[in-house]
Amino acid sequence: MEKTEQNIVIKRVKKVAGGAHGGAWKIAFADFALALMAFFLVLWLIESTTNLEKMAIAGYFSDPTNLGAVGDGGTPYVLDLQGRPLNVNNQGLNLSLVRQDEDPLVDSDDEINNPEFVELARLRQMEALSNLRGDVEAEINLNQQFDWFRDSVSFEITEEGLMVQIIDREGRPLFDNGQSRLRPYAMEILWAMGRIFGNVPNKVSVFGHTDGARFSSEDDYSNWELSSDRANAARRALVDGGLHPDQVAQIIGMADSVPLNTDDPLGPMNRRIVIMVLNSVAQSRVDALSNSGLAAPTPGEEILPPTPTVEIF
């Protein structure tokens, strides 16, 4: 009987780490997605935070442990826990104080004199005035009818506040010659400014300036009266545009005492209107001067001795 040959089959399995169904790539992809989400989260936080909050965060990470440091660091408060922080001798910015939607946490003389609160208030006002300047510039740049005005206005943030200078140009005067009547195009730009300035709580001072040309009238009307009348005309236009009457702090005529172009006293750029949006320091100074004037005795008023008391027996 013949033997039947049996085929022998040898299976060799080639082992590959992971293979098509391994999980290593999934871990790598998950790490990538997490990093991408964190990146977009950081971008969103940067966009939503204010400059003051960014400064406070930078101040903390520059030196989080040194409570007495002078400079950007030195604040121990990382999170706002809706409570009042302890008063520490610290020149850094405190994150719990950087709150745009609430009143400043100042209720004592010690805190008012604290350089931290003073600096924070100054930064807030600088930021608010910068935003106000941006609003006015955007109104001018987006409105085609104000193309003429771009070369006739200047903005500057000073120690007093936001100063807006509107000056005459050759062929584009703000007022009729020798009069206080505004030209229609000048009135329109003042209406636009009044609408913007009426949305902020700051008070406004208006100054009128003239050139060095003299009047030959016989009624003693001079550049002092003309500059005052022009400043008052600008005030009326601002109020008509939306500025609240209570926001007007001062109306001052400067005549030709402060020329913008000292080399040419008769130059058109000396004829201008200056609108000063006051910060809190300048506003307090103006209010103090006004209150001192109200408290002073009326000029020419005689101070009578007290009436003696008559005793009746």
pTM (2 decimals)? 0.58
Looking at residue 286, what is its pLDDT? 86
Residue 76 has pLDDT above 50, yes or no: no
What would the pLDDT profile of 243-253 be if each residue is shown by its tens digit? 999 999 999 99
**Number of other CB atoms surrounding residue 266 within 10 Å:** 12
What would the pLDDT profile of 145-204 be if each residue is shown by its tens digit? 777 777 888 888 888 899 999 998 877 889 988 889 999 888 988 998 999 899 888 999
Give DSSP secondary structure letters for 147-213: GGGTTSEEEEE-SSEEEEEEE-BTTB-SB-TTS-PBPHHHHHHHHHHHHHHTTS---EEEEEE--SP
Looking at residue 194, what is its pLDDT? 92
d(CA 91, CA 160): 24
What would the pLDDT profile of 216-239 be if each residue is shown by its tens digit? 666 788 899 999 999 999 999 999
Task: For strands 204-209 and 248-255, give the pairing.
Answer: parallel
d(CA 154, CA 272): 11
Q: Which residues of 242-252 are buried (b: 16+ CB within 10 A; e: fewer)?
A: ebeeebbbbbe
pLDDT band at 95 (very low <50, low <70, confident <90, very high): very low
- Closest by Cα among 164, 160, 169, 105 to 133: 164
pLDDT band at 102 (very low <50, low <70, confident <90, very high): very low
Task: For residues 16-28, give the mean pLDDT.
Answer: 69
More confident residue, 297 or 79: 297
Residue 114 has pLDDT above 80, yes or no: no
d(CA 236, CA 251): 11
- Give all domains of the chain, ordered by start, each with its CATH number: 143-291 (3.30.1330.60)
pLDDT band at 49 (very low <50, low <70, confident <90, very high): confident
**Number of other CB atoms surrounding residue 85 within 10 Å:** 16
